[in-house]
Amino acid sequence: DTGVSQDPRHKITKRGQNVTFRCDPISEHNRLYWYRQTLGQGPEFLTYFQNEAQLEKSRLLSDRFSAERPKGSFSTLEIQRTEQGDSAMYLCASSPNQGTGNTIYFGEGSWLTVV
Amino acid sequence: AQSVTQPDIHITVSEGASLELRCNYSYGATPYLFWYVQSPGQGLQLLLKYFSGDTLVQGIKGFEAEFKRSQSSFNLRKPSVHWSDAAEYFCAVEPYGQNFVFGPGTRLSVLP
C-alpha cells in the first residue's frame, strides 16, 4: 500500500496560466476527494468521485476548475486562467468504501503559488 | 448553523506536560468524529476516530479523545507531550450522508 500520491508537490505559475494536478489514490479505493487548504485554515471540500462519477461539487469550485477521474483510478484537477486567490495547497484523499463513516487518507498535497 | 469549532488557534505547552485540544460541533445528529494531525508542508494523518460505542477512543502516538454527547464535544488529549508532537491539529466531522467538514485547526507548539 503506497498511500495517496500527488504530483507535482509544488507549482509556481503566472496569473492567467492553466495548471493541472494529478492524484493517484490508494489502490482499489472507490472514493476520491479534492480539498483546498489555505494558510491557517482547515481543508475545504471541493469535489469527490465515486469511481469515475463526480457526485458532488462545492460552490468553491468555480467554472475555472475542473476535475476528472476517467477510469475510476487516478484523478486530475485543472485550474484554468489562474488567479492569485487560487494560491493554496490542493489536497487529494481517498477512502475504500461506499457510504459514510469511512476514514479518508490524504496525500501530501500540491502547493500552488500564483504570481 | 452547522459547524465545527476549535476555540484555540494556538497552544503552547512544555515537553512532558499534558495536552487537551478542544473541538465542538453543531449538527442535529451525532456525526462521525475524527482528529487529524498535519506537520508543516505535509498532508493530514489520522490520529483517531469515533463512530459509536465506547466514548473514550484511543489513537496513534499516545493520543486519546473523549466524545461527550451532552456537550457536543470531542476533545483530544495526551498525558505527556513530546517535542515531535508540534504540528497543526484538525478536528473533523462527517455528518450522515454528507462529506467531511474540518475545523479551523489548532497549532501546537512544544517548549523544550
Quote the pLDDT of residue B111: 95
Dihedral of alpha carbons A18, A23, A29, A31, sign = negative
In this predicted model, what pLDDT tens digit does every residue of B39-90 receive, in sequence order? 987 889 999 999 888 899 999 999 999 999 999 999 999 999 999 999 999 9
Listing DSSP states for A44-98 in one string gives EEEEEEETTEEEEE-TT--TTEEEE-TTSS-EEEEE-S--GGG-EEEEEEEESSS
A99 — pLDDT class (breaks 50, 70, 90):
low
* Proportion of chain B above pLDDT 70, given as a percent: 98
CA nearest to A10 within chain B: B41
How large a percentage of chain A has pLDDT more than 70? 95
pLDDT band of A100, cuts 50, 70, 90 = low
Instruction: Check if B89 contacts A (Cβ < 8 Å).
Output: no
Residue of A nearest to B92 (CA): A42
- Among the partner residues B44, B103, B105, nearest to A106 by beta-carbon distance: B44
pLDDT greater than 60 at residue A1: no
Chain A: residue whose CA lies nearest to B30: A101
From A66's Cα to the closest Cα of chain B, the distance in A is: 19
Q: Does residue A70 register a pLDDT over 70?
A: yes
Nearest to A41 among B42, B96, B104 (CB): B104
A8-17, B10-19, B74-83, B96-105, range with the lowest pLDDT: B96-105
DSSP B96: T
Task: Give the tens place of pLDDT for each residue, A12-66.
Answer: 999 999 999 999 999 989 999 999 999 888 999 999 998 999 988 888 788 999 9
Cell 459509536 locates to B52
Q: Tell me how close the Cα of A37 comes to any Cα of chain B, in angstroms.
A: 10
Whole-angstrom distance, CA of residue B32 vs CA of residue B28:
12
By CA distance, what is B90's nearest residue in A? A42
Contact residues on chain B for A4, CB-CB shorter than 8 A: 43
* Vertex B82: Cα angle to B4 and A41 (nearest 5): 30
Taking residue A91's Cβ as centre, other Cβ atoms within 10 Å add up to 25
Q: Which of B37, B57, B58, B60 is nearest to B110 (CA)?
A: B37
pLDDT band at residue A101 using 50, 70 and 90 as cut-offs: low
Q: Which residue has the higher pLDDT, A11 or B29?
A: A11
The verdict on A111 touching B (C-beta cutoff 8 Å) is: yes
Q: Which grid coordinates belong to B6?
A: 476549535
